[in-house]
Amino acid sequence: MHNYDTLLAAITPQTGPAREVHDPATGALIGTAPVQDVADLESAIDRAAAAQPAWAALSGEERSALLHRAADAIEAAAEPLAELLSREQGKPLNGPNARFEVSACAVWLRTAADTPLPVEVIVDDGENYAEMHYRPIGVVGAIAPWNWPMMIAIWQIAPSLRMGNTVVAKPAETTTLSGLALVAVMNQVLPEGVLNIVAGPGRTVGDALTKSPRVGKIMFTGSTDVGKRIIEASANNVTRLTLELGGNDAGIVLPDVDAAAIAADLFWGAFINTGQTCAALKRLYVHDAVYDEVLEHLVAFAKSMPMGVGLDEQNVLGPLQNRGQYEIVHRLVESAKASGARVVLGGDPDHDAVGNFYPTTIVADIDPHNDLVLEEQFGPALPVIRYTDLDAVVGLANELEFGLGASVWSADRDAARQIAARLQAGTVWINSHGGLHPMVPFGGAKQSGYGREFGVDGLKAVAEPQVVSG
C-alpha cells in the first residue's frame, strides 16, 4: 500500500451498501465508503473476542514488537495516508496537518509500545504484602472523531493493544476512509482479529457498540452531548469509559508579554487544523495594556498564513471538514457582528465558492458573553476579549461548563503558574497552547470529559487493576 491508488483500492467496498465521499475543498469525488450495520458490528465483536485471549497471552515484549511493526507499516505508507487524509478531511499536507498527523500516529504507537508498566508493590512491611497488577479488560470500543481521524484513533488503539486488549474501532461518518486506511495498513502486520473496524452510522452502529455487554471499555472523543448519550448507553453494563469531550479553551494574556514574540504561538494555538481541534484556543482574553499591540501582531501573522486546497503544497489552512460545521462558524460570527463587535480580519465568506472555506477570522472588542465566546466554534474564528481585572478574567475563563485546556501568557512564568492553579482545566499551558506529548497525560475537567490518555496513566486507563495480596 505504498501508493495512493493501491491504498484506496484496498478499502473500496466491493459489495454491500456504500456512499460517495467528496473532497471538502473541491467537491470532487474521492471514492466510496462502506455503510455497515449492527450485524457487521456483531461480527467484528465476535472476531475481537475470539482473538483476545491469544493476544493477551503474548508477552508484553511480543505485543510491543508488533506495535513497532505497525508503526513501520504506517511510515512506509505515510505519503498515501497523508494524501487520503488531506482529500477527505481537508487539512493541508504541510504545516501541523496531514503529514504531521500521520507521523504522530507512528510516534504514539512506538511510545505506547515502549512505556513500561511494571507490577507495583503497594505494601511490604514484613507482615503484609500486596502488589498491583494491570490486566487486560477484553474488547475495547474506539470511537474516533472527524477532526484528527487517524491520530486520535491511534490514541485509542495503541494503548489498548499494548495492554492485551483487542479493538473494535468506529471511524467518524465523514472521515470513514481515513479510519479504514489506517487500520488496513496496520493489519498488514497485526494478527487477525486483533484490530477491527466497522464503518456505520453513530445512531445505529455507534449506539450498539456502546451498549454491547461484550465490550468492556469505550474510548470516545467528540462532543459533550454525544458523550452524555454514551454514558447513558453504557450504564447497564457498567462499561469502563474514557471520554474526551468538547472544549472551549481560554487563553489569558498578561500585560508583561512581548506581543510580537507570542503572535505565532497564539495563532497556531487557535487556528491549528483550521480551528477544528478540541483543545484549540477558542477565546483569548488580553489585558488592556497590550490589547491593541497583541491584536496587531496576531492579525499580521494570520494574514501571512495561506488557506486553500490541501494538496497544494504552499497551503497551511484548509476548509472546514463538513458544511454543517461551516454553518456553525458562520452563525457565530454573524452573532458577533450583530452585537457590534469589530471584525479585524475575515468574516466575509463567499458562500457560493466551491469548498467549505471560511476565511481566517479574528473578532475584537466583543462582549465576553457573546455567543462566539460562549459556544465552541470549532473553526477559524477567534474572539479576542479585552480585560483589566485579573480576578474577573479568571472568573470568565472558569464560568463555562468546559474545562479541557487553558493557557496563560506572561514573561513571568511563576506568576503564570499561580494563575494556572486557579483555572479549571485538565491542562494549562504556559506561553503556548495545545501542544501534546505522548508521555504527558491529557484529558478534561468538568463537562470536557473524564479519564486520561497518554503515558503510564493512559495504559492504566485501558487495563483492569488487580491487587494480589499475600
Annotated catalytic residues are 244
From 138, 136, 167, select the one nearest 153 (Cα to Cα): 167
C-alpha dist (Å) from residue 61 to 55, 64, 119, 162, 340: 12, 5, 15, 9, 61
Over the range 126-159, which residues count as b (16 or more CB within 10 Å of their CB) and which as e?
eeeeebeebebbbbbbbbbbbbbbbbbbbbbbbb
Q: Which helix (H) or strand (E) holds 425?
A: none
CA angle, corner 188, sides to 90 and 84, nearest 5?
Answer: 10
**Residues 6+ away with beta carbon under 8 Å from 199:** 33, 34, 35, 36, 170, 171, 176, 179, 180, 205
Q: 129 and 463 in contact (C-beta within 8 Å)?
A: no
From 74, 235, 218, select the one nearest 144 (Cα to Cα): 218
> What backbone torsions phi and psi does residue 198 show, to the nearest 5 degrees?
-130, 125
Measured N-to-C along each axis, helices 78-89 and 98-114 cross at an angle, to the nearest 10 degrees, of: 120
Q: 370 and 241 in contact (C-beta within 8 Å)?
A: no
> How is 86-112 classified by DSSP, letter by letter?
HHHH---SSSSSHHHHHHHHHHHHHHH
Q: 37 and 201 in contact (C-beta within 8 Å)?
A: no
**CA 73: distance to chain centroid?**
22
